[in-house]
Chain A
Amino acid sequence: MAGLVRIQSEDFSVEEEVKRIKTVSKEVGGVVSFLGTARNISKGEKIVSLEFEHYPVMAEKKLDEIRKRALDNFNIIEMGIVHRVGRLDIGENIVLIVAAARHRNDAFMACEWAIAELKRVVPIWKKETTGKGEVWVEEHP
């Protein structure tokens, strides 16, 4: 069985990932998920494709730490994080964070914190290909 925290090139099933987190405990009363997808516009430029690169081992370690800190600091029961790497077309899934808690508010807060933290501390980089060429993205709004 795949782990709760993963980096992979292949796509993931949102339904399966939510089910995996939802069913860890019968105490779960609310599940919040964030799905990041590949949009077609960046700073007014039409994007043709995206490519994600990561620092193997360190990126997985940082994602794992985010899950553990979420479990320590929020009143949640479980969290799963999946991030894709490699070349992605517009519309494809990039990242999924699923938080399960007894009550919805804890799940919302943990999920929002986790995606913000992922953008801040996980060594993953996005390269956008537009009509003007390729550029590594630096900011993370």
Chain B
Amino acid sequence: MAVKLKFFAMLKGLIGREEAELEIPGEISMAELKTIIKREYPVLADLIDKRGVLVSVNQEFAGNEMTIKDGDEVAFLPPFSGG
């Protein structure tokens, strides 16, 4: 099973890419996915925990309890600054 990861704005700059594929060990929660992400991308660890980075699954905001399934598109969204 795998999910598609998307990174925007400053996050994209930090890890040097906009998209990535990530293998997951079956259906997991967003909280579990975040733990894997922090291990895979240490540079994001502090941001994910402390700086109000929101997460979406298939283009809708998602909380830590959300179940992540095969083929989901999970995006990490730093604080917005549109307008």
Residues of A at the B interface (CB closer than 8 Å) are 36, 52-55, 57-59, 61, 83, 94-95, 115, 118-127, 136-140
Contact = CB atoms under 8 A, between A and B. Distances in A.
A7 to B, nearest CB: 9
30 contacts: A36-B83, A52-B82, A54-B82, A55-B6, A58-B59, A58-B60, A59-B82, A61-B59, A95-B82, A118-B82, A119-B81, A119-B82, A120-B80, A121-B61, A122-B82, A123-B8, A123-B77, A124-B80, A124-B82, A125-B8, A125-B10, A125-B78, A125-B80, A125-B82, A127-B9, A136-B13, A136-B81, A137-B81, A138-B10, A140-B80
Contact of B83 (A55, A57, A95, A138): A95
A55 B75 CA distance: 9
Interface residues of B, number: 17
A126 B10 CA distance: 10
A72 to B, nearest CB: 19
B83 A119 contact: yes
Interface string B55-71: 01001110000000000
Q: Is the interface of A mostly helix, strand, loop or mixed?
A: mixed
A118 B83 contact: yes
Contacts of A58: 56, 59-60, 75
